[in-house]
């Protein structure tokens, strides 16, 4: 005995011969059903009328294929699960890019509602109950097929976007950013025209694609553009827009998704003016990532500029020059005994009284100069970490060659 289609009561299921006869009568009015369905689409959905003639004709083909597919399925002597591949196969893949899944569901719903109404108006009374039950089953399968098509399209699009994003991120990180790369970044949703930082951390333990999408979600909530790629055992994230140039804002933003990175340090490179300049931020972030082991108690995330001493000791010439340029030179130029006071203060175990005796000045004078040192350099000699930075900056500054540039 033939299997009963799900959704149709056995008591309502006629013989194969009767179904064939009913299907033949319905085939005679299928054209009218399609015309009525398209007319209802235009009346009910404003966006349908805004489509060009080509896309409307494709949708008409889908509607016609759906109704014809139902007729053939219903007339099958061996009823089974409906096969609706031919319904959407009549339209090109481009149609899935033109209308959304929600709109597709709306069109399917409209077509089914019109078909059910047309069955009541055009088909004999005896045919209606079984046709209505069969239509309910068939429409469900059509809806599932539509969802599957869009899911596959989204999966393919996501895979392509991931590959494209990896290529763009790699070009940005390597400093090979031309107009083509910028155009591709724009296609991926990059909108920022200024202020970019690069973040480096360990490869995520989760699937990289999932991890990058999770970071993207957090960045979207913060109003920040984002590109990401896994390179070897590291995850590099490019951030742009908003107040990302503000160190505090950048740190708070990265904290939102810090848990997505693998264990270990997360280093934020210095801000640069444009995506095309991101390689400078990348260089500093990578240098900080390699040197972060020298400061086990560093915050997570940590800014690359906070790791200048470790970077300098690990062989980063840019960090050595930065320490000398940003700390030693300003203190030397400020005069008023600031540099001498700093050296004596550090040499005397950070003792104000011992420094005052060594310099033959009052202790309050030492305290004033220490305050000025912090104002000029941004580092406090009384803080152990800052004192370490200042000591290394002084040493590197003293190694400046005659041309005024620190040695490499």
Domain identity same for 358 and 300: no
Domain identity same for 376 and 332: yes
Residue 301 lies in a domain: yes
Residue 347's CATH number: 1.10.10.2840
Residue 214 lies in a domain: yes
Residue 217's CATH number: 3.30.70.2730
Beta-ladder partners of 268 = 199, 303
Asked whether 204 and 266 are in contact (CB, 8 A), the reply is no
The full length of the chain comes to: 408
Domain identity same for 390 and 273: no
Domain end among 305, 331, 346: 305
Domain identity same for 62 and 91: yes
Chain centroid to CA 379? 36
Q: What is the average pLDDT across 376-393? A: 94
Domain identity same for 14 and 144: yes
Q: Give every CB contact of residue 6 below 8 A, 6+ residues apart in sequence.
A: 81, 137
C-alpha angle 96/101/106, rounded to 5°?
A: 115
d(CA 344, CA 348) in angstroms, rounded, equals: 6
Domain end among 140, 155, 170: 155
Domain identity same for 60 and 101: yes
Domain identity same for 75 and 145: yes
User: Per-residue confidence at 116, pLDDT binned at 50, 70, 90?
Assistant: confident
Look at residue 254 in the predicted model and tell me its pLDDT. Answer: 93
Please count the structural domains in the chain.
3
Residue 104 lies in a domain: yes
Instruction: Encode pLDDT of 209-251 as tens digits.
Output: 778 878 888 888 888 888 887 877 888 888 988 888 899 999 9
d(CA 109, CA 26) in angstroms, rounded, equals: 19
Look at residue 143 in the predicted model and tell me its pLDDT. Answer: 67
Please name the helix (run of DSSP H) or strand (run of DSSP E) that holds residue 391, with its range, or none: helix 384-398
Asked whether 340 and 355 are in contact (CB, 8 A), the reply is no
Q: Tokens 């400046």 — which residue? A: 400
Domain identity same for 297 and 338: no
**Domain, as residue range, for 134:** 10-155
What's the half-sphere exposure (Cβ side, CA atoms, 13 Å) at 31?
A: 1
Look at residue 156 in the predicted model and tell me its pLDDT. Answer: 46
Residue 88 lies in a domain: yes
d(CA 22, CA 79) in angstroms, rounded, equals: 14
Instruction: Encode pLDDT of 27-58 as tens digits.
Output: 888 888 888 888 888 888 888 878 878 878 87
Maximal C-alpha separation, the chain: 117
Beta-ladder partners of 302 = 267
Look at residue 264 in the predicted model and tell me its pLDDT. Answer: 93
Q: Give every CB contact of residue 338 below 8 A, 6+ residues apart in sequence.
A: 331, 369, 372, 373, 376
Two tokens, residue 258: 């810090």
C-alpha angle 138/141/147, rounded to 5°?
A: 145
Residue 312 lies in a domain: no
**In the predicted model, is pLDDT for residue 107 greater than 70?**
yes
Other beta carbons within 10 angstroms of residue 197's beta carbon come to 27
Residue 117 lies in a domain: yes
Residue 83 lies in a domain: yes
Domain identity same for 259 and 352: no
Asked whether 84 and 40 are in contact (CB, 8 A), the reply is no
Q: What is the average pLDDT across 128-134? A: 82
% of the chain beyond a pLDDT of 90: 33
Q: What is the average pLDDT across 285-306? A: 94
Two tokens, residue 178: 């031309």
d(CA 223, CA 142) in angstroms, rounded, equals: 39
- Look at 7 and 312; give whichever has higher pLDDT: 312
Domain identity same for 275 and 340: no
Domain identity same for 149 and 195: no
Domain identity same for 234 and 110: no
Q: What is the average pLDDT across 180-205? A: 75
Domain end among 305, 337, 352: 305
- Look at 87 and 194; give whichever has higher pLDDT: 194
> DSSP letter string over 239-297?
EESTTTTSHHHHHHHHHTTGGGSPSS--EEPPPBSSGGGHHHHHHHHHHHHHHGGG-TT
Residue 406 lies in a domain: no
d(CA 266, CA 59) in angstroms, rounded, equals: 51
């Amino acid at each position: 005995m033939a299997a009963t289609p799900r959704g149709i009561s056995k008591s309502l299921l006629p013989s194969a011969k009767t179904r064939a006869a009913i299907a033949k009568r319905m085939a005679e009015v299928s054209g009218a059903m399609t015309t009525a369905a398209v007319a209802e689409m235009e009346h009910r959905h404003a966006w349908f009328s805004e489509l060009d003639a080509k896309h409307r004709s494709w949708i008409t083909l889908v509607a016609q294929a759906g109704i014809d597919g139902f007729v053939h399925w219903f007339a099958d002597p061996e009823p089974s699960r409906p096969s609706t591949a031919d319904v959407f196969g009549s339209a090109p893949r481009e149609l899935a890019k033109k209308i959304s899944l929600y709109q597709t569901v709306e069109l399917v719903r409209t077509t089914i509602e019109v078909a059910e109404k047309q069955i009541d108006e055009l088909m004999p009374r005896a045919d209606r109950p079984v046709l209505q039950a069969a239509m309910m089953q068939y429409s469900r399968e059509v809806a599932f097929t539509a969802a599957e098509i869009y899911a596959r399209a989204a999966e393919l699009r996501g895979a392509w976007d991931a590959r494209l994003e990896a290529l763009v991120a790699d070009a940005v990180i390597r400093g090979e950013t031309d107009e083509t790369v910028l155009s591709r970044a724009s296609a991926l949703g990059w909108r920022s025209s200024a202020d970019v930082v690069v973040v480096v951390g360990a490869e995520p333990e989760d699937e990289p694609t999932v991890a990058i999408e999770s970071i993207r979600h957090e960045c979207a909530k913060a109003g920040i553009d984002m590109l990401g790629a896994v390179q070897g055992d590291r995850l590099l994230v490019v951030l742009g827009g908003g107040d990302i140039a503000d160190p505090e804002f950048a740190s708070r933003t990265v904290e939102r998704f810090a848990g997505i990175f693998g264990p270990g340090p997360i280093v934020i490179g210095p801000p640069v003016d444009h995506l095309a300049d991101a390689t400078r931020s990348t260089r500093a972030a990578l240098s900080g990532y390699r040197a972060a082991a020298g400061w086990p108690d560093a915050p997570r995330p940590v800014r690359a500029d906070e790791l200048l001493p470790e970077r300098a000791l690990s062989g980063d010439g840019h960090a050595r020059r930065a320490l000398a340029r940003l700390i030693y030179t300003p203190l030397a130029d400020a005069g008023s005994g600031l540099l001498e006071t700093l050296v004596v203060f550090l040499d005397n175990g950070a003792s104000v009284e011992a420094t005052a005796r060594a310099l033959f000045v009052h202790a309050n004078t030492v305290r004033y100069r220490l305050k000025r040192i912090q104002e000029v350099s941004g580092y406090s000699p009384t803080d152990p970490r800052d004192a370490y930075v200042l000591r290394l900056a002084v040493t590197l500054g003293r190694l400046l060659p005659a041309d005024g540039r620190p040695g490499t």
